[in-house]
Amino acid sequence: MQSIKFFIVLLAFAITNSVMGINSPAKGKVTGRVLDAETADPLPGANIVVVGTNLGTATNEDGLFVLNLVPGTYDIACSMIGYERQVEEQVVINANQPKELAFSLKMETIAGEEVVVEAEVERDNSAILLKDRKEADAVSDAISAEAMSQAGAGDAAAAMKKVTGASVVDGKYVYIRGLGDRYAATTLNGAELPSANPDKQSFQLDLIPANMLNNINTIKTFTPDKPGTFAGGLVDVTTKDYPSKMTLQMSTSSGYNSVTTGNDHFIQPNGGGYDWLAMDDGSRDLPTIFGNTPATLPTPRDVKTLDDALYLDQVSKSFSNVMSPLVSTAGVNSSMGLSLGNTLRLDSEGNHNIGFFGSLKWGQHYSFYENGETGRYKLVGNLSDVEALSPEFTGNDTKGTREINWGAIANVAYKNDEAGQVKFSYMRTQSAESMARYLVGYRANDRTTEGSTRTFETRVLSWTERSLGSYQLEGEHQVSPLLNMNVDWQVALAENDQIEPDQRYFFNIYDVNEDGSYLYGNDLSNSQSPQRYFRNLNEKTFSGRFNMNFPFKQWAGHEAKFKTGFSGKSITRSYDQRRFEYDTSSLSYRLYGPDIDTYFSQVGIVDSTSSSRYRRWYGLTINEKINPSNFFDGESDITAAYAMIDLPLTSKLRFLGGARVERALMHSYTQNPEDGEGNLDNTDVLPSLNLIYALHDNMNLRLAATQTVARPTFRELAPYQSFEFVGDFIYRGNPDLNRTLIQNYDIRWEWFQNPGEVLAVSGFYKNFNDPLEPFLDPRGASGDDALQSIQNVDNARVLGVEFEANKSLGFINSTLNNFHLGTNLSLVTSEVDIPKPELEEIRSQGDPNAESTRPFTGQSPYLLNINMVYKSLTHDRTAGLFYNVFGDRLYLVATAATPDIYERAYGTLDFKGSMGIGHNLTLSLTAKNLLNSARVFSYKLENDQVNEEFIYQKYKSGTTIGISLDYKL
């Protein structure tokens, strides 16, 4: 409702604007381009002003501008800091007849003096980022706010899909050059971000809305002034800075999904009053009667006194009886945004300024599928001669999800031209996922007799709430008296939470009788009891850094610099999990099926007698499964110091090298004293050598050799143990893990032809010593459950090549000047040694000739992006098609010789078009996932007899059509 009201308000603005346009005199249009007189490069950000008025505009990233004026004669001036002002006099503007101007600005000079000009350049467009990349210390790729908007990316994770060599797994986790999790680091304005996932080290980038970002820079080559904990890449997310003038922007959008929107089969859990804020209202909290510490609860057999009986009755009735999904109608995807920024000049000369920027974004998204397929298979026999995998279970899958997210950012900066700049940044994001899932199918061991109709049903209800709070204070200063030194510093605090209250699981079976009626049951002998989980994770990261930069001239007079500094990072993490099971021995589901909610209302004492011998009859009762190993904490302290030099050896050859020393102390432990503790204490020297050879003024050849490090997560290092529902295995940490050292070798050729255009070819090779690799061992856990753990293996290797092109098609024909083609392709191969216990199991259980290596999880052999964008300056219109595809990638490692599960190749095609309405409004239309291909996760059986896939999971998510309206002042 809020989004609809907001949309109506903005639509009213549009109508008013249009009506005013009808009643106003017809306007003429001035278009043109501003170039550097010496280099002929376009000048973005140049000011175009009608002399004697407050009318004006600025050039875009291509140096182009458009200005609407009432017919008449004007003097039009063009100016830019560092250039001489130029005026075109007596420009005649006629109605409906565009006038074209061309400005060529010369550098501003004063005889006898060197003029040093400093100006803030907005780094939210592709041309500026490519210019930065050309001069950068390391191999890097970036995506600008402009490119994110053109592609319709709603968050940072979606934007990263467009970056060369990057892929996104589960919609959250970024993999760079086939490497993710521990091999990819994420920073926000240079400060490292914590993870909100107990299983992963990488940050969930979908938490950050795209409209709050200036750019995302992916650094692929390590330099000593960056953290040493990455091999694939360092993703530096930069939030919007304060603008040079007053800006106000409002936006709203709505979206329709072909599968989900309006579907009256949509399933969801029961909700709370604050769900729309991505916050639980307390209705999902663990009842207060359980307290903060797990305690053993009495069972009906243990009850000896009336007090025990009443206590068991009270705790069993404290939970909601809702254990099945609610059926409803899926809503409309929607979002709203507001941002405001300005710079306030504190003196007439403009030497003392305060800038601020604030932004708020809210959105919700529904997704749904029914008739999805799910299955679990295993190999029975020898891989070389079996004709099929044996099903453990297969079924029909239905899943409904509602995602709500909002984010807020506030930046305030004080700049003094003499003392430098101090800036404070705050960002808060909140995200929640409400999910319901229903599986129905059959298990092989339920249908061992001919004619059996036994069928299973599983229901899952969950609420996952994630939040990030980031506080940053930083400064940049020129310290002239001391060796002309520049210093920059930063202190930051980031806190990440993931809360999963009252996750519910219920499994039952039924048989079909001869008369067509159903016979329901629990079948506890071959399944889990009904369960409720409460999980909480909190991670805090406090970090600080101090850098000193000493510019100097080398022997031939070329500019060089020496840089040194130090940094520190302290992380604390706490995780707890409480698990409750229903005792169904006193009350069979057979009496109530399929009325689940009524069944779960029969809890505690359901009947009693007050005869001479007092007796009680129990329904369902609650029992807490206490395991101190399900609670773990961790602390980590990482300190570092570095020194590096940027030294031109000749006018064309630049050397950049140095080393970073990092000491890491990690400590992880559970609440079970018998588990022991996990500890890590390493001091590593991480060298970095880079050569940059300028083949031409706009062409570089880069070579790099570096060493980086990867460390285990707290959970991996802790002797923590838990049951994983996805995969049906017991997970156990390993306190004997060591860190991984990685040697990285890079080469890149890059050609920056015109602003916004680039051609590049890159190659890379990475060697891992003691890589961390998970493994499955069916013999390692009690009962029928396999054990997953992690250990250091001997080696791993990654080899790849990347191609990138971004080019205006005007070189073919001038009529194609407004068309831009962008493409990037990554080809990657990887292999990691399979841990010996698992390899022995594979070879002994059906595949004696199994390879001793496999690819990294999540690594695709190819990644391809192609986009075609049309931009019409004179009509303020853009349109673009965006295609992305990745190759088969390892998703889950299967048990023993059963083939591993791969996510199969998947391609998406998106469209976005926009047009200006008047001076302030922009109307956009998006269409996402136009191909609507099925997402497939599968086993693949290959031998001389058969080449066949067996479905692990398969579904379609539908095509989404969206419309948005933006108002910008």
What are the distances in angstroms from CA 46 to CA 104, 349, 755? 11, 20, 15
Output the furthest CA–CA distance in the chain (Å, rounded): 114
Q: How far is residue 4's CA from residue 11's CA, in Å, rounded to a whole number?
A: 10
Residue with tokens 């690819």: 855
Averaged pLDDT, 424-440: 94
Q: Which residue has the higher pLDDT, 170 or 526?
A: 170
pLDDT at position 617, please?
82
- Check pLDDT > 80 for residue 715: yes
Asked if residue 619 is part of any domain, the answer here is yes
46 and 6 housed in the same domain = yes
Confidence of residue 366 (pLDDT cuts 50, 70, 90): very high
Q: What local confidence, expressed as pLDDT, does residue 814 receive?
A: 77
Quick one: which H or E segment has residue 909?
strand 906-917
Q: Which residues contact 232 (CB under 8 A, 6 or more apart)?
A: 175, 176, 177, 178, 179, 180, 183, 184, 220
Confidence class for position 470, pLDDT limits 50, 70, 90: very high
Q: Are 750 and 695 contained in the same domain?
A: yes
pLDDT at 201 over 90: no
- How far, in Å, CA of 498 to CA of 573, rounded? 11
Q: Tell me the percentage of the chain whose pLDDT exceeds 90.
A: 47
Both 148 and 228 in one domain: the answer is yes
Closest CA to 77 of 69, 66, 88, 68: 88
- Cα end-to-end distance, the chain, whole Å: 25
Please state, in angstroms and rounded to a whole number, the distance separating the CA atoms of residues 203 and 214: 19
Please state whether beta strands 531-553 and 559-583 pair in parallel, antiparallel, or not at all (unpaired): antiparallel
Rounded Cα distance between 418 and 438, Å, is: 65
Of the candidates 271, 299, 248, 944, the residue with the CA atom closest to the CA atom of residue 620 = 299
Same domain, 151 and 232: yes
Task: Measure the CA–CA gap between 336 and 9, rounded to whole angstroms.
Answer: 12
pLDDT digits (tens, 9 = 90+) for 835-869: 888 888 888 888 888 899 999 988 999 999 999 99
Same domain membership, residue 643 and residue 534: no
**Residue 728 pLDDT:** 58
Q: Tokens 């990263």 sit at which residue?
A: 160
Mean pLDDT of 416-439: 91
Question: Distance between CA atoms of 873 and 141, rounded to whole angstroms?
Answer: 27
CA distances from 281 to 216, 431, 465 (A): 34, 14, 12
What is the average pLDDT across 509-517?
Answer: 87
The confidence band for 724, taking pLDDT boundaries of 50, 70 and 90, is low
Q: Between β-strands 191-192 and 184-188, what pairing exists: parallel, antiparallel or unpaired? A: antiparallel
**Boundary of a domain, candidates 626, 659, 694:** 626
pLDDT digits (tens, 9 = 90+) for 544-573: 999 999 999 999 999 999 999 999 999 999
Beta-bridged to residue 723, according to DSSP, are 730
User: pLDDT tens-digit profile of 64-100?
Assistant: 888 878 888 899 999 887 788 899 988 888 877 788 8
SS3 label, residue 450: coil
With respect to residue 273, please indicate whether it lies within any of the assigned structural domains: no
Model pLDDT for residues 262-289, shown as the tens digit of each residue: 999 999 999 999 999 999 999 999 999 9
Residue 10 in domain: yes
Answer whether 806's CB lies under 8 Å from 820's CB.
yes
Residues 6+ apart with CB under 8 A from 836: none
Cα(97)–Cα(71) distance, integer angstroms: 10
CB atoms within 10 A of CB 583: 21
| Closest to 121 measured CA to CA, from 225, 174, 13, 43 | 43
- Compute the distance between CA of residue 254 and CA of residue 365 in angstroms, rounded to an integer: 10
For residue 444, give Cα distances in angstroms to 273, 375, 450, 771: 43, 11, 12, 38
**Best CA proximity match to 183, nearest among 191, 192, 174:** 174
Strands (DSSP E) found in 816-899: 819-833, 853-854, 862-872, 877-886, 889-892
Buried b (16+ CB within 10 A) or exposed e, 600-626: bbbbbbeeeeeeeeeebebbbbbbbee
d(CA 430, CA 452): 48
* Cα angle 810-814-820, degrees, rounded to a multiple of 5: 30
- CB–CB of 922/936 below 8 Å? no
CATH code assigned at 792: 2.170.130.10
In the numeric block, the tokens 């800091």 are attached to: 81
In a domain, 436, yes or no: no
Q: ∠ CA(913), CA(915), CA(919), 5° rounding? A: 155
Measured distance CA(445)–CA(31) in Å, rounded: 74
Q: Where a domain ends, among 865, 897, 914?
A: 865
Q: What is the pLDDT of residue 117?
A: 40
Give this prediction's pTM.
0.84
Q: What is the pLDDT of residue 904?
A: 96
Q: Show the DSSP H helices in 255-372 as ranges.
A: 306-316
Does one domain contain both 166 and 205? yes
Q: How many residues does the chain have?
A: 969
pLDDT at 464: 94
Return the half-sphere exposure (C-beta side, CA atoms, 13 A cut-off) of residue 499.
Answer: 16
The answer to which of 281-285, 297-301, 446-450, 798-802 has the lowest mean pLDDT is 446-450
Cα–Cα dist 244/342, whole Å:
6
pLDDT single digits (tens) 5-15: 444 444 444 33
Which stretch of 3-17, 382-396, 784-798 has the lowest confidence by average pLDDT?
Answer: 3-17
The band of 600, judged by pLDDT with boundaries at 50, 70 and 90, is very high
- pLDDT at 480 > cutoff 80: no
CA distance 589 to 861: 49
Judge if 129 and 95 occupy the same domain. Answer: no
**Closest by alpha carbon to 949, among 940, 936, 958, 961?**
940
Looking at the structure, do residues 71 and 188 belong to the same domain, yes or no?
no
Residue 727 belongs to some domain of the structure: yes
Amino acid letter, 703:
L
Return the amino acid letter for 824. N
Say yes or no: 597 and 678 in one domain.
no
Q: Are residues 56 and 164 in the same domain?
A: no
Which residues touch 758 (CB under 8 Å, ≥6 apart)? Answer: 130, 133, 750, 751, 752, 804, 805, 806
Q: What does 778-825 look like in DSSP terms, one character per residue?
A: GGGSSTT-EEEEEEE-SEEEEEEEEEEEEEEGGGT-GGGTTEEEEEEE
Interval 621-635 mean pLDDT: 88
pLDDT at 16: 40
Give the pLDDT confidence score for residue 858 in this predicted structure: 87
DSSP 8-class letter at 289: G
pLDDT band at 56 (very low <50, low <70, confident <90, very high): confident
CA distances from 573 to 178, 197, 626, 715, 770 (A): 27, 11, 21, 10, 25
Whether the Cβ atoms of residue 716 and residue 751 lie closer than 8 Å to each other: no
Confidence of residue 170 (pLDDT cuts 50, 70, 90): confident
pLDDT band at 111; cut points 50, 70, 90: very low
- What pLDDT score was predicted for residue 116? 41
Record the tokens describing residue 617, joined without a space: 């009859």
Question: Which SS3 state, helix, strand or coil, does residue 598 take?
Answer: helix
The total number of structural domains in the chain stands at 3
* 835 Cα distance to chain centroid: 30
Q: Provide the strand spans (E) within 14-111.
A: 28-36, 47-50, 56-58, 64-69, 72-79, 86-93, 99-105
Instruction: Based on the fold, state whether residues 657 and 598 are members of the same structural domain.
Output: no
Domain limit, last residue, from 563, 593, 626: 626
| CA dist., res. 727 & res. 107, Å (int) | 65
Q: Is the peptide bond before 71 cis (omega within 30 degrees of 0)?
A: no
In a domain, 660, yes or no: yes
Mean pLDDT of 97-125: 64
Measured between alpha carbons, how far is 128 from 60 in angstroms, rounded to an integer? 11
Average pLDDT taken over every residue of the chain = 86
Examine residue 51 and state whether it is found in any structural domain, yes or no: yes
Q: At a CB cut-off of 8 Å and minimum separation 6, what does 40 contact?
A: none
Could you tell me which of 635, 634, 474, 632 has the C-alpha nearest to residue 570?
635
Q: Domain check: are 593 and 697 in the same one?
A: no
The mean pLDDT of 779-789, rounded to a whole number, is: 60
675-692 confidence digits (pLDDT tens):
888 899 999 999 999 999
Residue 607 confidence (pLDDT) = 76
Q: How does strand 518-521 pair with strand 889-892?
A: unpaired
36-57 burial, b if ≥16 CB within 10 A, otherwise e? beeeeebbbbbbbbbeeeeebb
13: three-class secondary structure by DSSP: helix
How many Cα atoms within 13 Å fall on the side-chain side of residue 667?
A: 5
* pLDDT tens readout for residues 932-957: 999 999 999 998 889 999 999 999 99
* Domain at 79, CATH number: 2.60.40.1120
* Residue at 872 is within a domain: no
Quickly list DSSP for 164-205.
Answer: TTEEEETTTEEEETTB-GGGEEEEETTEE-----TT-SS--G
- Residue matched to tokens 């400005």: 103
* Domain carrying residue 618: 293-319+528-539+573-626
In sequence order, what are the beta bridge partners of 492?
Answer: 472, 543
**Inter-residue contact 586 to 599 (CB < 8 Å):** no
Sequence-distant (≥ 6) Cβ neighbours of residue 648 within 8 angstroms: 554, 556, 558, 559, 560, 654, 655
